[in-house]
Structure formats: C-alpha cells, structure tokens
Amino acid sequence: MNQAKSTALYRQPNPVNRIILLGASNLTLSLPLVIQQIQHHCGGPSEVLVAAGHGRSYGQSSQVLIRELPSIIASGLWTELDAGEARPTYAFLTDIGNDILYGYLPHQILQWVTWCVEQLQKQSAYIVMTNLPIVSIESLSEWRYQLFRNLFYPSCQLSRNEAVERAKAVHQDLIELAAHKQFVLCEQKPEWMSADGIHYVYWKRHTLYQHICTHFCATRDQSGFATDKQSFSQHWQQRPRFAYKKVLGKEKHCLQPSGLLTDKTIVSLY
C-alpha cells in the first residue's frame, strides 16, 4: 500500500469503539461478516485490530504454502492496542485448535490463550471466545482424520486418538479459564461444522455468527447505542493487508490501518 492510501485511512471519522479479532481460517473467511455482527450489538464505525490468517497459531510462527506469519501473541496488534486511545473495546477469539495439530501440548496452548485474555482485560475488553467444536472433533472417523490431517497439517504425526485427547483437554481448560477470568465462552454446534470437523459450513456462516455474536448483547448498555435499531451491511472498500509477513522467506511490510469498510470502519491486520 502506498503512503497516500494509508494516510487517507487515518483520516476517517473517529471510531466509536474498538473491536479485537483473533483467529485463523474461520475468522479470515468471514471477517466482514464477523465485524458486522459485532457492530449490530456494539455500534460503529469501529477501529478493528485483527490477528488472523489461514493456519494461524496463537503461540508460534506458522507457514501455509509460501506465506509465513508470526504468532498471534508476537504480532504487532498488542503494541498498537497499548498505544491506542481509550474507547469501548470488544474482543472475539476463535480457531484455537490449530496448535494441537502443530504438535503443541494443551498446557502450552492454555498459556498462550490466557496471555491474550489478560492483555485484553487490561483494556477492559468485553471478551467472547469460541470453544473447540469437541463433538465434531470426536466424531471424526479414522480415515477422515488422516485425510484432513495430511491435507491441512502435513507435518503432524499425531494419531487420531492423541489429537482427540488433546482437544478434549484444551476444551476443558478453556471452560475453566472462562470461569476463572470471567469471559463468555461459546460452545459450537456440530451442525455448523464441515466434514473436517473444524471449519464452518460456508452457507451456515451468517446464521452461526448471528448466534455467537448475540453474546455481545450484554454490552448494549455500555455502548450507549440503541443497538436493536442498528443495521450494518459491511463490504470492503479496501481490503486489509498484513502488517508483516514472509513470502518465500522475504519480509514484507504494510502500514496500518490498511483496510476500509463501507461504514468507514478502519481495519488493521497483523
């Protein structure tokens, strides 16, 4: 992105709130929809900070084909969050199970997610998180598990039973973390999930995000908006680009914010 375009984004009207989005493929594929559904309850236009991307890991750098991204916890999102103006903040965390098939243990994954929650709570963020779709994961047959493991995580050597046991441990850990840290944990319905057990069925995304984002209803008194009367229809005027990534080992940088939605919501992608 050239300097002129980035400067133009910074000149957008002052956002009424801040939305933090952390996740991987499911979030990446539905980003404008997720923003729209959160804004339906919390208002807009917004300043949106995103750490997402296909195959994204919460705690380690990850590579998909020729593109490499830093971990969510090592992304530039947190520096920007600490430096930003104080405003109502809403956070959505999802796609936590990737790290199991990267070979990391449940206690490591819990540490990374806990760190994210603690950083968000320092900003007084209202947090909603999706738990692992454990029913769908447990229902995977051996042949389907092997097929999708080899397709999406070719370096993974975990057996189906090992992966399921680790998923069950992370699922329970997140339940306990939500109770301890007092944030909303949303269980995912098996009918939302595709044949691989972890990605959403494409044509069900609108309905399922409507359901998940109703958990932001509790914020309507904080936001000062008559949210039941608001309607947001979000489309990209300018798609965001990663602040930092590697492509074939070569570093690429982009000034943020780099994305713009139709209601003048600005989006930074880390």
Q: Is residue 117 within 8 Å of residue 75, measured between CB atoms? A: no
Q: Can you list the domains of the chain with their CATH numbers?
A: 3-269 (3.40.50.1110)
Where does the pLDDT of residue 63 fall: very low under 50, low under 70, confident under 90, or very high at 90 and above? confident
DSSP state of 186: E
State residue 151 phi and psi, 5-degree precision.
Answer: -75, -50
Of all residues in the chain, what percent carry a pLDDT higher than 70? 89
Residue 133's contacts (CB-CB under 8 Å, 6 or more residues apart) are 97, 188, 190, 192, 193, 197, 198
pLDDT at 179 over 60: yes
* 101-123 pLDDT, tens digit each: 999 999 999 999 999 999 999 99
Q: What is the largest CA-CA distance in the chain?
A: 53
* Contact between 116 and 167 (Cβ < 8 Å): no
Neighbours of 265 (CB within 10 A): 27
Range with the poorest average pLDDT among 19-28, 161-170, 212-221:
212-221
- Per-residue pLDDT tens digits for 214-270: 999 865 544 444 344 455 667 899 999 999 999 998 999 999 999 999 989 999 999
How much is the pLDDT for 155? 87
pTM of the model: 0.91
| C-alpha torsion 212→218→219→221, nearest 10 | 150
Q: Look at residue 8 in the predicted model and tell me its pLDDT.
A: 53
Closest CA to 91 of 16, 18, 20, 181: 20
- Give the dihedral sign, CA 5/2/16/58: positive
